[in-house]
Amino acid sequence: MSKYLLNKFLFTVDRDPLLVERYREDPAELVAWWESTMANDLLNCHSGENTTWLAFTDEERDALIARDQVRLFEFGAHPFLTLTLFIAVFERDNTEPLEYQKAYGASLAHVTRPYPDIAT
Amino acid sequence: MASIVAVIASTHHPFYYRASTATGDDRPPFADEWVRKITAFRETLTRANPDVLVMVGSDHFHQLWLDNMPQFLVGKAPFYDANWYNEEREFGLPKMRLQGQEDLSAHILRAGLDSGFDLAFSNELRIDHSVTCPIITLRPEADLPIVPIYTNIFAPPLPQPSRFVKLGESIRTIIEQWPSHLRVAVIGTGHLSLELGGPRQFGPQGPDPEFDQRAVQWIANGDLDGCLREVTLDSLHEPGNATHGFMDFMLMMGVAGAGVKADYVDTLDLFHTMEAYFTWYPSGAPA
């Protein structure tokens, strides 16, 4: 399991408006494209100096495609990254202020402390 | 030598800008009271008449990332662009550009390294709302040069709370030894109890109002002993999963000094989190 790679997905998609839209419109396409092209990009370095060993597990890939914040939370993905990206994807559908944010919290109501470890 | 004319510790609520500028039906019911409190808080900095702002905050996974994560980082650049696409998207924050004070950055780096803090540095730093929120609330003219100092309260493993306090104490000493006639204000922002991406987020109050009350008392009274007795890296998970941002308040308590009561204290109970505002005048209260 790679909390780091989950975080890297959330981080790099969240900061790119075009990727945010692709993740909203077709998450399976975006996740497959990202894993094949960006997962092993060494960020902030010269292009071409790629990493060779990063890949999602099947469960991680499925959770990202399903945009399942509960499973991502259980995996120990950084909650700030998940929340920020998912707000970008879903908040525009709100019919009242904070509707999505509150539903997101409610979806995790069963979680007890200590929360899953987010250390990478 | 330079003088520290104000030490300010504050929460940094990214929704303030949008709430305070909204009009008509878009203006939330709590906006007017919030603006009143911020306006009064702003006056505590204005009265101190600073020349330079040292700004303590924390990058929220904007420029600093898990492939290369510093614990404490000092910006040293002539300018700092500010706010990021996702902050514009989610909070409506404007793009900004702030001037840097490179002499003070260099002094803090040299003296910090020589006093036991292996500070990282950045010569090209785009700062985020942990620094721009207090600019918006306290100095909206954004006309003073800054030295940004980033702490890692976000990506474990984190430094111990006591280390934040010691860094704050060192920053105080280091600035007071800066060979300059300039008047320095040290402004740091953090959080009280806060939950992000968890079951307790976006409630009618902060996730742990009882912690918030105790935290406000620790800060207002400069009660570092009491605070350090109770606060550990483990204990901070309990009030809310993003409460490690409280360690930036502890850093500012270190700047203000153990046992030194704040000259100005105010709070505002909001949805999601409690706002808290503190000012100390180490050189005496301005006339």
- What are the residue boundaries of the structural domains of chain B, listed by start? 3-280
Average pLDDT value for residue range A40-51: 89
Whole-number percent of chain A with pLDDT over 90: 92
Chain A residue numbers with beta carbons less than 8 Å from the beta carbon of B240 are: none
Q: What is the CA radius of gyration of chain A?
A: 15
Among the partner-chain residues A84, A115, A120, the one whose CB lies closest to the CB of B198 is A115
- In angstroms, the CA B178 to CA B163 distance is 22
Categorize the per-residue pLDDT at B271 as very low, low, confident or very high, splitting at 50, 70 and 90. confident
How many Å from the N-terminal Cα to the C-terminal Cα in chain B?
Answer: 21
Q: Is the ipTM of this complex over 0.90?
A: yes
Which residue's entry shows tokens 């003070």? B104
Chain B residue with Cα closest to A69: B197
Overall number of domains in chain A: 1
Residue B209: both structure tokens together: 């109002």
Q: What is the pLDDT of residue A46?
A: 82
- Which helix (H) or strand (E) segment holds residue A38: the answer is none
Contact A17 B89 (CB under 8 A): yes
- In angstroms, the CA B225 to CA B183 distance is 29
Q: What is the pLDDT of residue A47?
A: 82
The answer, for A60 touching chain B at a CB cutoff of 8 Å, is no
B234-263 pLDDT, tens digit per residue, is 999 999 999 999 999 999 999 999 999 999
- In angstroms, the CA A69 to CA A108 distance is 8
Residue A9: both structure tokens together: 């997905």
Is B30's pLDDT higher than 80? Answer: yes
Average pLDDT value for residue range B209-225: 98
Among the partner-chain residues A88, A104, A115, the one whose CB lies closest to the CB of B89 is A88
Is B66's pLDDT higher than 70? Answer: yes
Helices (H), B140-223: 161-176, 209-221
Contact A115 B237 (CB under 8 A): yes
CATH class, B3-280 region: alpha beta
More confident residue, A2 or A89: A89
Q: Would you state the torsion angle of the CA atoms of residues B84, A119, B71, B16, taken in this order, to the nearest 10 degrees?
A: 40
The answer, for A82 touching chain B at a CB cutoff of 8 Å, is yes
Q: Report the mean per-residue pLDDT for chain B.
A: 97
Among the partner-chain residues A4, A88, A111, the one whose CB lies closest to the CB of B199 is A111
Is A1's pLDDT higher than 80? Answer: no
Chain B residue with Cα closest to A8: B66
Chain A residue numbers with beta carbons less than 8 Å from the beta carbon of B60 are: 80
Among the partner-chain residues B89, B155, B197, the one whose CB lies closest to the CB of A73 is B197
Residue B88: both structure tokens together: 């514009």
Tell me, yes or no, whether A120 lies in a domain.
no
Look at residues A91, A13, A15 and name the one whose alpha carbon lies nearest to residue B85.
A15
Phi and psi, residue A81, nearest 5°: -65, -45
The answer, for A76 touching chain B at a CB cutoff of 8 Å, is no
Q: What is the CA radius of gyration of chain B?
A: 17
- In angstroms, the CA B167 to CA B153 distance is 14
The answer, for B204 touching chain A at a CB cutoff of 8 Å, is no
Q: What is the dihedral sign for C-alpha B64, B65, B69, B71?
A: positive
Tell me, yes or no, whether A118 lies in a domain.
no
Among the partner-chain residues A14, A42, A79, the one whose CB lies closest to the CB of B197 is A79
Which residue's entry shows tokens 């924050």? B93
Compute the nearest-CA separation of B64 from chain A (Å).
10
Tell me, yes or no, whether A116 lies in a domain.
no
Tell me, yes or no, whether A61 lies in a domain.
yes
CA distances from A56 to A96, A119, B219 (A): 35, 17, 44
Contact A17 B200 (CB under 8 A): no
Question: Residue B146 pairs with which residues in a beta bridge?
Answer: B53, B100
B174-209 pLDDT, tens digit per residue, is 999 999 999 999 999 999 999 999 999 999 999 999
Categorize the per-residue pLDDT at B224 as very low, low, confident or very high, splitting at 50, 70 and 90. very high
Average pLDDT value for residue range A20-40: 98
Is B85's pLDDT higher than 80? Answer: yes
B133-165 pLDDT, tens digit per residue, is 999 999 999 999 999 999 999 999 999 999 999
Among the partner-chain residues A43, A80, A110, the one whose CB lies closest to the CB of B197 is A80
Q: What is the dihedral sign for C-alpha B94, A22, A85, A10?
A: negative
Structural domain boundaries enclosing A34? 3-107
Tell me, yes or no, whether A119 lies in a domain.
no
- In angstroms, the CA B188 to CA A32 distance is 41
- In angstroms, the CA B247 to CA B267 distance is 18
- In angstroms, the CA B213 to CA B210 distance is 5
Compute the nearest-CA separation of B224 from chain A (Å).
26
Is A44's pLDDT higher than 90? Answer: no
Mutation choice for A interface testing from B69, B86, B208 by most A CBs within 10 A: B86
Is A7's pLDDT higher than 90? Answer: yes
Chain A residue numbers with beta carbons less than 8 Å from the beta carbon of B27 are: none
